[in-house]
Amino acid sequence: MSISQRQEIKQTQSLVMTPQLQQAIKLLQLTNLEINEFVGQEIERNPLLELADPSKPERGDGKLEEFGSDNNSETFDTATLANKDNLPDTNDEPLDINYNEYLEENSTNVSEFNYDQSSTWNVSSNKASNYDFNESLEQTIENKVSLTDHLLEQLNADIPDPAERLIGYHIIHMLDPSGYFKSEISSVSDIIGCEETKAIQVLNRLKKFDPVGVFAKDLQECLTLQLIDKNRFDPIIEKLIENLDLLAKHDQKSLLKKCNVSREELLEMVVEIKSLNPKPGDLYNNDVAQTVVPDVFVRKNNTFDWTVELNTDNLPKVLVNRKYSSLVNNKNSSDIDKTYINDQLNSANWLVKSLEQRAQTILKVATEIVKQQSDFFSQGIKYLKPLTLKDIAEKIEMHESTVSRVTANKYLESPRGVFQMKYFFTTSITSSCGENNLSSETVKARIKELVNNEEPDDILSDDKIVEMLIKEDIDIARRTVAKYRESMNIPSSVIRRRQKKPYK
């Protein structure tokens, strides 16, 4: 058998993900905050992109005074585009041959997105004047000193010796966010090159810093330091501290025996323990509370139908400066300059249209969710229906993966509260009669309601909850009840029995 080389021509088809198509898909799953950050980066690198300045006056034709003052200039902004059913027509070069294929196969066809404004599922894009993002932000963001800075200030004030300050500096930077020092002290002495006894001495001095309880190696020492500071540490409460595992189990019988106290005395010590801070470092946690800004609003209109509105207040208003592009192309510019500007213009066009496509797709998905879950918005959690990504995808003729991207980290505000869009996708629990399947969230809500209403002398076991649900035509297994209960952080019946009457 001879081995030879030969040339062969073979024609195959393959899907090529262009950078523009990848960008469009990426934009679908970004939050509004991430969209603003992404647009900011694009504006820095693309000279034809600009953010509209709300402080600058606009002319009657809707074009900014600075950009768009003649016929050679045109501006698009993504906020007002969200009000339109169709993308703007331009005479520019096509963005990319794969863009239309992407619209047909994996996203909303904007030209067909024209819900009847007077129908039950009314769709609009609104600035939602009743939502004040700045006010909400001011209520949640507060300038805080970090735990590290707070401790370093005390270190510089209370420990004058430079060598000891150096040791303290390293120990402070080895704390975990809760203020615990869980490393081996020998690691500090190895880094600094000092004796371990010296490092222990500095650590003991640091344990007197504020907040009380920092630099403890575990919860037991943390609580002990706080009790010592309050002058409440004695041999009896020390016994209780040594048996925190029994306290967590509400095993009062064993605690009474180990502490050798009356029930009243044990209760007083438990109250004292609960008043302490198990994570003193959290007092100086510098994490900023994240304000949830809804992507869409669900409201009732004058005819008591649900209206879905896109929140455009926190979307970037992007402008494409075509005047600059025309100037470069009309002058005696080099071919390199013209090619660069044309590439940037195509990129800018693509970005604006991708942002518009994202807005319309979110609106379309949210509208269908509200349509499917209208009973929930009108009557509450008991009427939340089982729903899957596939159900929505089939209704609006989009790919399931696109629906998944669109609903990721997106929020919907309604009279019943703010919900992640993913919240409305739940599994189904079959009823005993075979009709009216229930959402898993509805069943969870019922389990929580039963537990909240149970009597201290009649704690419901999982088996008992199953019996009660079956009487309500909810066919469910005990292991499913246990799984749902644990997902809601509801303890077992044994723990709840101890919690509801621990010291009587």
DSSP 8-state symbol, 423: G
User: Rounded CA gap, 164 and 153, in Å?
Assistant: 14
- Judge whether 474 and 429 are in contact, CB under 8 Å: yes
User: Rounded CA gap, 307 and 367, in Å?
Assistant: 8
Q: What is the pLDDT of residue 50?
A: 86
| pLDDT confidence tier of residue 138, bands split at 50, 70 and 90 | very low
Amino acid symbol at 447: I
DSSP 8-state symbol, 210: S
Q: Is 500 helix (H, G, I), strand (E, B) or coil?
A: helix
User: Rounded CA gap, 151 and 172, in Å?
Assistant: 7
Task: Check pLDDT > 80 for residue 105.
Answer: no
User: Rounded CA gap, 297 and 363, in Å?
Assistant: 10
Segments making up each domain of the chain, as ranges: 19-89+104-130+295-368, 147-284, 428-500
Which tokens is 389 given? 């990504």
Which tokens is 45 given? 């690198």
Q: What's the whole-number average pLDDT of the chain?
A: 77
Pick the closest to residue 83 from 404, 315, 370 (CA basis). 315
Arch. (CATH architecture) of 428-500: Orthogonal Bundle (1.10)
Q: From start to end of 220-281, where are the E strands? A: none
Pick the closest to residue 365 from 391, 339, 383, 342 (CA basis). 391
Higher pLDDT, 2 or 107: 2
DSSP element (H, E) containing 44: helix 32-45
Residue 276, CA atoms < 13 Å, CB-side half-sphere: 23
| pLDDT confidence tier of residue 103, bands split at 50, 70 and 90 | very low
Task: Check pLDDT > 80 for residue 273.
Answer: yes
In Å, the largest CA–CA distance within the chain is 97
Task: Check pLDDT > 60 for residue 47.
Answer: yes
Amino acid symbol at 376: F
State residue 30 phi and psi, 5-degree precision: -80, 145
- Judge whether 359 and 315 are in contact, CB under 8 Å: yes
% of the chain surpassing 90 pLDDT: 23
Higher pLDDT, 498 or 274: 274
Q: What is the pLDDT of residue 79?
A: 42
Q: What is the pLDDT of residue 128?
A: 43
Handedness of CA 262, 263, 264, 268 (dihedral sign): positive
